[in-house]
Structure 1
Amino acid sequence: MIDFLVLVKAFILGLVEGLTEFLPVSSTGHLILADHFLNFRQGVITKQVATTFEVVIQLGSILAVVVVFWKRLWSSVDFRKRNFTHSFNIFHIIIGIVPAGILGVLFQSDIKDKLFGPQTVVYALIAGGILMLVAELYSRKTVPTTVTMDELSYKQAFAIGLFQCLALWPGFSRSGSTIAGGLFVRASHQIAAEFSFIVAVPIMFGATALDLYKSAEYLSMDLWPVFAVGLVTAFLVALLAIVTFLKLVSRLKLIPFAIYRFVIAIILLLVFL
């Protein structure tokens, strides 16, 4: 029988994951803090099960992106389109995921062994915040040349894909790095954010599927309520977070999120170092 308190902790972690996965604030940093204060990895929840749980709730966030952008994703694989040079399509997504996909496969073990931890996440939070500030200042000195998804070029998609490689460093933030990359190639905030979310789907699905395969032995039926609560919570909260962020990003810009990252970095330093 699962303790009710464990379900409450699963709900809170799902809430944190859903709120932060696609905002440029680092879900990893927030989950490290939440896990520390909740003491989730105790009792029936072992370290291995807790790690698997984090993979499961990440899947909830990914599914939220699929729901929000299902029309765009579906149209991108519609090969009835004849004009692949003047419309957003599957090749933009492929080009955007290739750099991070290759590096992720080659260095997955090293990333997990050496870059997951409070100290390295603090460095990533600060570095990512600085990148976002620089990208924001750059965007204020230029005029966006890409204000619709169909105007996004393959060259821009590849450049944003290179920036996505930074997100392999836990704490850097996938959305933060890719949105910053979009601003550097003169996409609008809205388009940079939308492409950031879309290009994250195949990368995160692949990484999550691999992690779930490796963690299959910990997906115990006895713990299905814990996984279900976390996944559903992350899915519903991520839906709200994505829609809200897309409405606000053009007005808020990246600076408030960069400052918030510095605050989280300081809290992590105080708690762990």
Structure 2
Amino acid sequence: MTFLQALILAIIEGLTEFLPVSSTGHMIIGTALMNMQPTPFVKLFTIVIQLGTILSVLALYFKRFFKSLDFYYKLVVAAIPASILGLVFNNLIDSLLESPLMVAVMLVIGGVILLFVDKWFNKPTIENSDEITYKQSFIIGLYQCLALIPGTSRSASTIVGAMTQNLTRKAAAEFSFFLAIPMMLGASVVKLYKFLKEGHTFSGDEINLLILGNVVGFIVAIIAIKTFINILTKHGFKAFGWYRIIVGLIILALLLSGHELSII
């Protein structure tokens, strides 16, 4: 992996992780266009740079994390379903991750859903994610399980799930941001543990690449989150729906043209 490739992947991660557009789908396109091979370090890199994007949420919503322990408990409750299913069906999920076709199809399906979601849930009653109950947190967590299917988008599934519980678009998006922290932190720790357990080590350049990826991801994610909230509040999900459909069709076009795509 070169520094330019690391920079591009970090920008993709920062831009797409918190948007309902599937960061996995964008990683497929990015790595395919750069002809990158799914080496152990590349696979680790794409996961661990999520730590930088996690920090962006903490930086933007710093005060929210010091209100009460009750908020943390709700995040834990929401994280339980996907964590359990992820462990139980780990092998199945890994097999699905080997299918760019699955990602493309789910991008298109999810895009179509986003075209109509504003009409389906147009009478929200909860304007602050702190107001949701434990039951609502758990239901949102069940929706997050859909993100175990590659291409669905964790952000999209949790935001839609929150909107079914009468949260406004903004409140739903913010709860999705917060819920990303335990999920992404857990994924990064597990990936790093497996990397080291398999006997891999880091070179000096690889450490620098990880630092670069996290710093760039942090900066870009802050910009992406602020922009997303602004667009979402004013215009809703329709633009993201069409965008998902276009990205899915691009992946399908690459597959049909003979490109050997892989999810890293």
User: Structure 1 residues 7 and 208, CA, compared in 2 at 3 Å: closer, same or farther?
Assistant: same
Counterparts of 1:113 and 1:76 in 2: how far apart (Å)? 40
Whether the 8 Å CA contact 1:49–1:218 is kept in 2: the answer is no
* CA offsets 1:174-230 (integer angstroms, 9 cap, x no match): 111111111122110011001011011101111111011111325333422222222
Counterparts of 1:205 and 1:177 in 2: how far apart (Å)? 19
Whether the 8 Å CA contact 1:136–1:183 is kept in 2: the answer is no
Partner of 1:63: 55
How far off is 1:94 after superposition? 1.7
Percent of aligned positions with the same letter in both sequences? 40
Matches within 5 A, 1:1-273: 6-41=2-37, 47-77=39-69, 89-140=71-122, 143-216=123-196, 217-273=200-256
Q: What TM-score do the two structures reach when normalised by structure 2?
A: 0.89
Whether the 8 Å CA contact 2:112–2:245 is kept in 1: the answer is no
How far off is 1:119 after superposition? 0.6
Counterparts of 1:60 and 1:116 in 2: how far apart (Å)? 26
User: Structure 1 residues 269 and 157, CA, compared in 2 at 3 Å: closer, same or farther?
Assistant: same
Unaligned runs of 5+ in 2: 257-264
Unaligned runs of 5+ in 1: 78-83
How far off is 1:39 after superposition? 1.8
Counterparts of 2:110 and 2:98 in 1: how far apart (Å)? 16
Counterparts of 2:202 and 2:99 in 1: how far apart (Å)? 24
Give the match's secondary structure for 2:49: helix
Q: What TM-score do the two structures reach when normalised by structure 1?
A: 0.87
User: Structure 1 residues 91 and 224, CA, compared in 2 at 3 Å: closer, same or farther?
Assistant: closer
RMSD of aligned residue pairs (Cα, Å): 1.7
Whether the 8 Å CA contact 1:16–1:27 is kept in 2: the answer is yes
Whether the 8 Å CA contact 1:132–1:177 is kept in 2: the answer is no
